[in-house]
Amino acid sequence: EEKVKRIDSATDKARAREKDSDRLKVEENVFDVPTLKILYTLSNKGIIKAMGGAISTGKEANVFYAEGDEKELAIKIYRMASSTFKAMDAYIMKDPRFTNIRNNRRDIIFAWTRKELQNLKRSKSAGVRVPEPIVAEKNVLIMEFMGEEKKPYPLLKNTPLEDDEAKLVYNKIVEYMHLLYKEANLVHADLSEYNILIDPADKTPVFIDMGQSVTLEHPNAREFLYRDVLNVLRFFGRYGITDKPEELLSKIQAE
Ligand SMILES: N#C/C(=C\c1ccncc1)C(=O)NCc1ccccc1
């Protein structure tokens, strides 16, 4: 009995250490001194009241919950040590809005963050449901928190849906893709069940992650749109949606 107890406590301790190191890993990688200075400045401006935990962690960015002045915030921090900044190249260097930036990591990541703010603004004014963009400062993007009581809305990927509910969600996503294209002159360019949140109250979709979104002037805009179309049809096929890629494309590009 005594031996088993000892192992349990040792395991618990090891697990606790591992968890802390994970949390620390996220924090130490992301909260480098320049990023901390930006967060400090934003809290001095009264934009951030208190930082919360990580909502999403990835190789190119991390999203944290934060308390703002009157409302909850999501703070997206692009890693400066980001290994994918070369990939960012393909989207940003051919975007007519960003032709004049120097081709170095810092400038690309700062431009990318500004681009996400701009794309969210354009999407919002086009009538697409996205987090309300608030401010971009270097590699830090502050937006409205999409969730309740510190709990973010679930990803479409993790939202159980009946076939009839899925049809409504699909139609709303198609409407948003159409508005993005016709009103915002944008293609999401990374649309999938991983970048759509579902508001549990009314099952309306929320488009997130628009750093890579491009205007229709981008030479690869139609190719990115086609990829978004295939992603959406692949996911909704399981609910009996039978639209062909060309049919969905024409719905999106319709006058
Ligand atoms: N923006 C955003 C996101 C969520 C969010 C939730 C609630 N309110 C606003 C945004 C998000 O997870 N994006 C995907 C992502 C980003 C970084 C690393 C991994 C995955």
Q: What are the pLDDT digits (tens) for 57-106? A: 998 899 999 999 999 999 999 998 766 777 787 788 788 888 777 778 88
pLDDT of residue 102: 77
The question of ipTM being above 0.90 is answered as: yes
Ligand 1 site-directed mutation target among 29, 55, 63, 123, most atoms within 8 Å of CB: 63
In CATH terms, 2-148 corresponds, of 3.30.200.20, 3.40.630.30, 2.60.40.10, 3.40.50.1010, to 3.30.200.20
**2-148 against 153-253: fold identical:** no
Q: What average pLDDT does the chain have?
A: 90
- CA–centroid distance for 138 within its chain: 17
Reduced DSSP (H G I as helix, E B as strand, rest coil) percent helix, strand, coil of the chain, to 5: 50, 20, 30
Q: Which residues line ligand 1 (CB under 6 A)?
A: 55-58, 61-63, 74, 76, 131, 143, 145-147, 152, 208-209
Structure tokens at 152: 């973010």
Q: What is the pLDDT of residue 17?
A: 64
Q: Which of 129, 199, 209, 213 to mutate to test the pocket of ligand 1 (most atoms within 8 A of CB)?
A: 209
CA 46–ligand 1 middle distance (angstroms): 23
Q: What are phi and psi of 62, to 5 degrees?
A: -135, 145
Tokens for 95?
Answer: 């975007």
Is the pLDDT at 28 greater than 80, yes or no?
no
Catalytic residue among 202, 209, 228, 243: 209
On whether the CB atoms of residues 179 and 128 are closer than 8 A, the answer is: yes
pLDDT at 6 over 80: no
The DSSP element (H or E) to which 99 belongs, if any, is none
The yes-or-no verdict on residue 9 having pLDDT over 70 is: no
Rounded (10°) CA dihedral 172, 173, 175, 176: 120
Q: Is the pLDDT of residue 8 over 70?
A: no
209 CA distance to ligand 1 middle (Å): 7
**In the chain, where the domains are located:** 2-148, 153-253
Going by C-beta distance under 8 Å and a sequence separation of 6 or more, which residues neighbour residue 64? 51, 52, 53, 54, 55, 74, 75, 77
Q: Select from 1.10.510.10, 2.60.40.10, 3.90.105.10, 2.40.50.140 the CATH code of 153-253.
A: 1.10.510.10
163 catalytic per annotation: no
DSSP 8-state assignment for residue 132? P
Among 25-34, 51-60, 166-175, top mean pLDDT goes to 166-175
Mark out the alpha helices in the chain (DSSP H runs): 2-30, 33-44, 85-92, 105-125, 163-182, 221-236, 245-253
| % pLDDT > 90, the chain | 72
Q: Tell me which long-range contacts 145-149 makes (C-beta under 8 A, separation of at least 24).
A: 145/65, 145/66, 145/71, 145/72, 145/73, 145/74, 146/74, 146/197, 146/199, 146/206, 146/208, 147/72
The CA-atom distances, in angstroms, between 219 and each of 172, 222, 223, 250 are 27, 8, 9, 19
Count of residues making up the chain: 255
The enclosing H or E element of 193 equals: none
Question: What pLDDT is recorded for position 30?
Answer: 61
pLDDT, tens digit, 9 for 90 and up, residues 147-202: 998 999 999 999 999 999 999 999 999 999 999 999 999 999 999 999 999 999 99
- Quick check: 21 pLDDT over 60? no
pLDDT value of residue 83: 65
208 within 8 A of 130, measured Cβ to Cβ: yes
Residue range 248-254: mean pLDDT, rounded: 97
